[in-house]
Amino acid sequence: MFLEQLRACEDDACKTMLLRALSNAGLPNTVPTLLEFAENSKQAVISEAAVKAFRRIDLKHITKSVSENMTTYVSHSNFF
């Protein structure tokens, strides 16, 4: 449900709200979508919300590839 709504969002506020909802849910099937928004969003607030959403995902659902992609992305961003 949230995934379809997220793709239909046209503004940053909508995307941020739904990424936060996905974060709260912590569902493993959201990993590909979170990765996509973290890596491809042109807006820092959207990328940040997607990155933060990974905190609630159980580590057993984070593959080596996802981990490597996120490590590379975060190390090249200006989040911190």
Give residue 79's pLDDT: 53
**Residue ranges making up the domain that contains 39:** 2-75
Is 71 part of a structural domain of the chain?
Answer: yes
CA dihedral over 1, 15, 22, 3, signed as positive or negative: positive
Is 60 part of a structural domain of the chain?
Answer: yes
DSSP 3-state assignment of 19? Answer: helix
Which residues of the chain, if any, have pLDDT below 70? 73-80
* % of the chain exceeding 70 in pLDDT: 89
For the stretch 11-21, pLDDT in tens is 999 999 999 99
Is 80 part of a structural domain of the chain?
Answer: no
Give residue 27's pLDDT: 92
Which residues lie below 8 Å from residue 34, measured CB to CB, with a gap of 6+?
19, 22, 50, 51, 53, 54, 57
Is 46 part of a structural domain of the chain?
Answer: yes
Query: Which helix (H) or strand (E) segment is 7 a member of?
Result: helix 2-8
Report how many domains make up the chain.
1
